[in-house]
A and B are shown apart, each in its own frame.
Chain A
């Protein structure tokens, strides 16, 4: 028998499990779905093991495509396991996007071009496009790119969907790296920054994590359905209008434009303009001031001023020849 392309086998499996009336057992799948080693069942252990591997891989591919298999056990048959796919739950409902919006979706997929999420994003665009009539639109003068891999984000989204806890190493802005176990309740995206909000098992309380600060890989742990996120999750400082505080920052004339946009000019100090800048995370503001290489000066709060000084001293120590 010629080798069957994996996508052909996957589609055969998808169609078989969607159209089966009750369920198919693994042996029925193996002997009737074209692309598996139909008829070699029991020939030898090697063939059995190869089938098992192939079937596991196909289940994983279907899951990654958004089509998890349901398992149906049959009490009358000694509790053996069968599989099916619920067609109504698996089908893509049309998203009513305009051709211009579809072009933006392709641009969005480009954003992850080099990242772990790249193939997922392209698949998503293909799926949305399949329910949108074709219309040619002028090429957009825009591009997009993310420098991070964000493999963690995909793993968190999956675990959230399956209601499984996640485990990862995390470096917070204030404490040493430590392993955290978290029930993922919400992914919150603020512009280009993604956060995970969930119950930290160690603290037994709701915590917010910046996804880009997760070190290494995110592992799903425990059983699916292990928790139910609360109906209302307090987003705290991430909320739409939530601001933690207001800092005072002096900026050189015609410099620090991002800060100027975020804040309001409230006065001047010699040449410098004095701004009041609302902030959510003091460490983000500290990084912004550090990044301006002297074009901005922290004035208040003291914690911010001290932070900037501590970092400049540390940088000079570390680079001392």
Chain B
């Protein structure tokens, strides 16, 4: 219950502050601004109408102009001193950490960086220290963004997960930051399927004149499908590396940890397990074990073992 009431309280106070700053405003505009339906805005204003100081007489309550309301316009006539409240510590850290991840991945760098500066300053000196790396001079990201915005096919040179260099024409849809690393969501003309490609594996990009014709995948941007369920047993020291896998369930007896998860990308999970190998005890099914062993052997071979 309270999970739902806090966001609504923030919006209700937001509507009051917005109307105070900007004067009478159509429901439609408030709806777009606060990312809810115009009907919800109407409910919100009816709710605000009931709110006010102890006493509950008409002049103790927040008030709106009734005729405007009937015309679909919110015009506040008495706020009872209510206005938006400052950012809570959790809210502040959530924003700046996410902005920092965007800045670090090079996604929308200019506006993200200035937004990060402004929000960090507003939170005050003490809260969070952002350590930004120097701006990269990479032209890759702006070129990809330009191709997306122009709706043009991009011709990529791409090094795949097996370290093979390939050339492929893709219809670029969106750049997504996942944990600070940028990915390109696209339709791959060669594979005739949707692909999510790591931007740091793109070696070269050329924007062509050909228009994008395939619509973006509607599935939240992620075309990953679960291949099978895996169970991994490990000493507790390695638990951190599995905690952030989507949908993972972790059973921890204080010493040993058993993690179960749906696997969407075996190669990726095997790579993750390799980075905590000294804590690893067992992994099921056998194909996952085989992939971990394959990667470990490849690393060992590169090191002359």
Interface residues of A (CB under 8 A from B): 5-8, 10-12, 14-16, 18-19, 32-34, 57, 60-61, 63-67, 87, 89-98, 100-109, 111-112, 114, 117-131, 133-134, 136, 140-150, 153-154, 156-158, 160-161, 171, 176-177, 186-194, 210, 212-216, 229, 235, 238-240, 252, 254-255, 257-258, 261, 286-287, 289-298, 305, 308-316, 318-321
Q: Judging by beta carbons under 8 Å apart, are A188 and B131 in contact?
A: yes
- A-side contacts of B243, CB under 8 Å: 148-149, 212, 215
Q: Judging by beta carbons under 8 Å apart, are A65 and B131 in contact?
A: no
- B-side contacts of A305, CB under 8 Å: 303
Closest to B11 in A: A126
Q: Judging by beta carbons under 8 Å apart, are B85 and A134 in contact?
A: no
Q: Other CB < 8 Å A-B pairs besides A121-B98, A157-B128, A313-B300, 10 of them?
A: A91-B83, A92-B17, A104-B112, A108-B98, A117-B93, A117-B97, A126-B11, A127-B87, A134-B32, A177-B236
Given contacts A10-B9, A215-B240, whether A308 and B303 have CB atoms under 8 Å apart is yes
Q: Judging by beta carbons under 8 Å apart, are A129 and B14 in contact?
A: yes
8 A-B interface contacts by CB (under 8 A): A8-B51, A91-B85, A101-B111, A109-B95, A119-B7, A187-B93, A309-B303, A320-B293
How many positions in chain B have a CB within 8 Å of any CB in the partner chain? 137
Q: How far is the CA of A94 from the CA of B87 in the complex (A)?
A: 11
- A-side contacts of B286, CB under 8 Å: 321
- A-side contacts of B300, CB under 8 Å: 309, 312-313, 316
**B58 at interface, CB cutoff 8 A:** no
- B-side contacts of A128, CB under 8 Å: 87, 119
- A-side contacts of B114, CB under 8 Å: 98, 101
Interface residues of B in 84-121 (CB under 8 A from A): 84-105, 107-108, 111-112, 114-115, 118-119
Q: How far is the CA of A192 from the CA of B1 in the complex (A)?
A: 32
Interface residues of B in 185-207 (CB under 8 A from A): 185, 200-201, 203
How many A-B pairs have beta carbons closer than 8 Å: the answer is 438
- B-side contacts of A147, CB under 8 Å: 178-179, 244-246
**B55 at interface, CB cutoff 8 A:** yes
The distance from the CB of B124 to the nearest CB of chain A, in whole angstroms, is: 10
- A-side contacts of B240, CB under 8 Å: 171, 210, 212-215
A309: contacting residue among B15, B55, B176, B305, CB under 8 A:
B305
Q: Judging by beta carbons under 8 Å apart, are B9 and A229 in contact?
A: no
Q: Judging by beta carbons under 8 Å apart, are B95 and A189 in contact?
A: no
- A-side contacts of B25, CB under 8 Å: 134
Q: Judging by beta carbons under 8 Å apart, are A119 and B6 in contact?
A: yes
Q: Judging by beta carbons under 8 Å apart, are B236 and A318 in contact?
A: no
- B-side contacts of A212, CB under 8 Å: 240, 243-244
The distance from the CB of A64 to the nearest CB of chain B, in whole angstroms, is: 6
A121: contacting residue among B95, B108, B272, CB under 8 A:
B95
- B-side contacts of A189, CB under 8 Å: 96-97, 100, 128-131
Given contacts A11-B9, A314-B280, whether A92 and B83 have CB atoms under 8 Å apart is yes
Q: Judging by beta carbons under 8 Å apart, are A64 and B93 in contact?
A: no
- A-side contacts of B35, CB under 8 Å: 106
Q: How far is the CA of A294 from the CA of B295 in the complex (A)?
A: 7
Q: Which of B30, B126, B185, B238 has the most CB of A within 10 A?
A: B126
The distance from the CB of A129 to the nearest CB of chain B, in whole angstroms, is: 6
The distance from the CB of B105 to the nearest CB of chain A, in whole angstroms, is: 7
Chain B binding site: helix, strand, loop or mixed by DSSP? helix
Q: How far is the CA of A292 from the CA of B296 in the complex (A)?
A: 10
Q: Judging by beta carbons under 8 Å apart, are B280 and A315 in contact?
A: yes
Q: Judging by beta carbons under 8 Å apart, are A65 and B129 in contact?
A: no
Q: Judging by beta carbons under 8 Å apart, are A192 and B104 in contact?
A: yes
B101: contacting residue among A111, A131, A239, A289, CB under 8 A:
A111
Given contacts A64-B90, A104-B108, A117-B90, whether A254 and B165 have CB atoms under 8 Å apart is yes
The distance from the CB of B295 to the nearest CB of chain A, in whole angstroms, is: 4
- A-side contacts of B112, CB under 8 Å: 104, 108
Q: Judging by beta carbons under 8 Å apart, are B293 and A186 in contact?
A: no
The distance from the CB of B84 to the nearest CB of chain A, in whole angstroms, is: 4
Given contacts A16-B54, A146-B101, whether A238 and B131 have CB atoms under 8 Å apart is yes
Q: How far is the CA of A64 from the CA of B89 in the complex (A)?
A: 8
Given contacts A8-B51, A290-B271, A315-B273, whether A130 and B15 have CB atoms under 8 Å apart is yes
Q: Judging by beta carbons under 8 Å apart, are A149 and B92 in contact?
A: no
B299: contacting residue among A64, A134, A312, CB under 8 A:
A312
Q: Judging by beta carbons under 8 Å apart, are B129 and A235 in contact?
A: yes
The distance from the CB of A27 to the nearest CB of chain B, in whole angstroms, is: 13
- A-side contacts of B54, CB under 8 Å: 12, 16, 32-34
**B12 at interface, CB cutoff 8 A:** yes
Given contacts A114-B246, A143-B177, A144-B98, whether A171 and B238 have CB atoms under 8 Å apart is yes
Closest to A284 in B: B275
- A-side contacts of B128, CB under 8 Å: 157, 186-189
Q: How far is the CA of A150 from the CA of B99 in the complex (A)?
A: 15
**B226 at interface, CB cutoff 8 A:** no
Given contacts A147-B179, A157-B89, whether A171 and B239 have CB atoms under 8 Å apart is yes
9 tightest A-B CB contacts, nearest first = A192-B180, A191-B104, A130-B14, A294-B298, A66-B88, A148-B244, A124-B91, A32-B54, A108-B98
A315: contacting residue among B9, B201, B274, CB under 8 A:
B274
Interface residues of B in 250-305 (CB under 8 A from A): 252, 271-275, 277-278, 280-283, 286, 289-290, 292-303, 305
Q: How far is the CA of A98 from the CA of B98 in the complex (A)?
A: 18
Q: Judging by beta carbons under 8 Å apart, are B6 and A261 in contact?
A: no
Q: Which of B48, B81, B100 has the most CB of A within 10 A?
A: B100
**B71 at interface, CB cutoff 8 A:** no
The distance from the CB of A94 to the nearest CB of chain B, in whole angstroms, is: 8
Q: Judging by beta carbons under 8 Å apart, are A91 and B84 in contact?
A: yes
